[in-house]
A and B are shown apart, each in its own frame.
Chain A
Amino acid sequence: MKPANNNRPALQDTVVPPDFETVGAAGVAQPHISARGINVYYGDKHAIKNVSLDIAKNEVIAMIGPSGCGKSTFLRCLNRMNDTIEGCRVSGAVTLDGENIYGKKMDVVELRARVGMVFQKPNPFPKSIYDNVAYGPRIHGLAAGRHELDEIVHTSLEKAGLLHEVIDRLDDPGVGLSGGQQQRLCIARAIAVNPEVILMDEPCSALDPIATARIEELIDELRRNYAISIVTHSMQQAARVSQRTAYFHLGSLIEVGETQAIFTNPGHTLTEQYITGRFG
Chain B
Amino acid sequence: MNSPNHHPDGGPRNGPNNGPRSGPNNGANDGTNSGATTLDKVRGGLARRYRAEKRFRAAGLASIVAGMAFVMLLFGAIISAAAGAFTQTSFTLDVRLDESAFAGHAASPQALQDALANADYRALLNRSLYSLFPEDRARRDKKALRGLVSSGAAFDLREQVAADPAVIGTAIRFRALADDEADLFYKGKIDRNLPENRRRLSDRQISRLDRLAADGRVERHFNRSLFTRGDSREPERAGLLGALTGSFFALLVAFLLSFPIGIATAVYLEEFAPRNRLTDFIEVNINNLAAVPSIIFGLLGLAVFLNFFGLPRSSSLVGGIVLALMTLPTIIIAGRAALKAVPPSIREAALAMGASPMQTVLQHTLPLAMPGVLTGAVIGMAQALGESAPLLMIGMVAFIADVPQNFTDPATALPVQVYLWANQAERAFTELAAAATLVLLLFLIAMNLGAVLLRKKFERRW
Contacts of B274 in A (CB 8 A): 86
Contacts of B348 in A (CB 8 A): 81, 84, 119, 123
A139 at the interface (CB under 8 A from B): yes
B34 at the interface (CB under 8 A from A): no
Given A1-B1, A3-B7, A10-B2, A125 and B352 contact (CB-CB distance below 8 Å): no
Complex: how many Å from CA A4 to CA B345? 34
Q: Is the CB of B359 within 8 A of A125?
A: no
Contacts of B7 in A (CB 8 A): 3
Q: Is the CB of A126 within 8 A of B461?
A: yes
Q: Is the CB of B353 within 8 A of A112?
A: yes
Closest to A140 in B: B354
Q: Is the CB of A186 within 8 A of B356?
A: no
A16 at the interface (CB under 8 A from B): no
What is the minimal beta-carbon distance from A6 to any residue of chain B, in angstroms?
A: 11
Given A109-B356, A119-B345, A126-B461, A84 and B1 contact (CB-CB distance below 8 Å): no
Complex: how many Å from CA A140 to CA B368? 22
Residue tally, chain B, CB below 8 Å to A: 26
Closest to A5 in B: B4
What is the minimal beta-carbon distance from A76 to any residue of chain B, in angstroms?
A: 9
Contacts of B275 in A (CB 8 A): 86
Q: Is the CB of B354 within 8 A of A109?
A: yes
**Chain B, range 1-50, C-beta contacts under 8 Å to A:** 1-2, 4-5, 7
Which 7 residue pairs spanning A and B have beta carbons closest together?
A: A3-B4, A123-B345, A112-B354, A117-B352, A126-B460, A113-B354, A123-B349
What is the minimal beta-carbon distance from B358 to any residue of chain A, in angstroms?
A: 11
**Chain A, range 103-157, C-beta contacts under 8 Å to B:** 108-113, 116-117, 119, 121, 123-126, 135-136, 139-140
What is the minimal beta-carbon distance from A66 to any residue of chain B, in angstroms?
A: 12
A166 at the interface (CB under 8 A from B): no
Contacts of A125 in B (CB 8 A): 346, 349-350, 364
B309 at the interface (CB under 8 A from A): no
Contacts of B4 in A (CB 8 A): 3-4
What is the minimal beta-carbon distance from B8 to any residue of chain A, in angstroms?
A: 11
B462 at the interface (CB under 8 A from A): yes
A-B Cβ contacts below 8 A, count: 71
**Chain B, range 339-380, C-beta contacts under 8 Å to A:** 343, 345-356, 359, 364, 368
Complex: how many Å from CA A23 to CA B460? 49
Q: Is the CB of A119 within 8 A of B353?
A: no
What is the minimal beta-carbon distance from B268 to any residue of chain A, in angstroms?
A: 15
Q: Is the CB of A139 within 8 A of B354?
A: yes
Complex: how many Å from CA A113 to CA B350? 11
Complex: how many Å from CA A10 to CA B353? 40
- Enumerate chain A interface residues (CB-CB to B < 8 A): 1, 3-4, 10, 13, 79, 81, 84, 86, 108-113, 116-117, 119, 121, 123-126, 135-136, 139-140, 175, 186, 189-190, 193
Closest to A108 in B: B354
Contacts of B1 in A (CB 8 A): 1
Q: Is the CB of B354 within 8 A of A110?
A: yes
Contacts of B343 in A (CB 8 A): 123
**Chain B, range 267-290, C-beta contacts under 8 Å to A:** 274-275
Contacts of A111 in B (CB 8 A): 354
Closest to A116 in B: B352
Among A10, A126, A186, the residue within 8 A (CB) of B368 is A126
Closest to A124 in B: B349
13 CB-based A-B contacts, threshold 8 Å: A3-B7, A4-B4, A81-B352, A84-B348, A86-B274, A110-B354, A112-B353, A113-B354, A126-B368, A126-B460, A126-B461, A139-B354, A140-B354
Interface centre among B346, B364, B462 (most CB of A within 10 A): B462
What is the minimal beta-carbon distance from A277 to any residue of chain B, in angstroms?
A: 19
What is the minimal beta-carbon distance from A191 to any residue of chain B, in angstroms?
A: 11
8 A-B pairs besides A119-B349, A123-B343, A125-B346 with CB distance below 8 A are: A10-B2, A81-B351, A112-B352, A112-B353, A135-B355, A139-B353, A139-B354, A190-B352
Contacts of A113 in B (CB 8 A): 353-354
Given A10-B2, A86-B274, A175 and B355 contact (CB-CB distance below 8 Å): no
What is the minimal beta-carbon distance from A181 to any residue of chain B, in angstroms?
A: 15
Contacts of A136 in B (CB 8 A): 353-354
Interface centre among B1, B2, B353 (most CB of A within 10 A): B353
Q: Is the CB of A121 within 8 A of B353?
A: no
Contacts of B460 in A (CB 8 A): 126
Contacts of A79 in B (CB 8 A): 352
Q: Is the CB of B354 within 8 A of A193?
A: yes
Closest to A3 in B: B4
What is the minimal beta-carbon distance from A253 to any residue of chain B, in angstroms?
A: 22
What is the minimal beta-carbon distance from B462 to any residue of chain A, in angstroms?
A: 5
Complex: how many Å from CA A139 to CA B1? 44
Complex: how many Å from CA A10 to CA B461? 43
Q: Is the CB of A13 within 8 A of B354?
A: no
Q: Is the CB of B351 within 8 A of A112?
A: yes
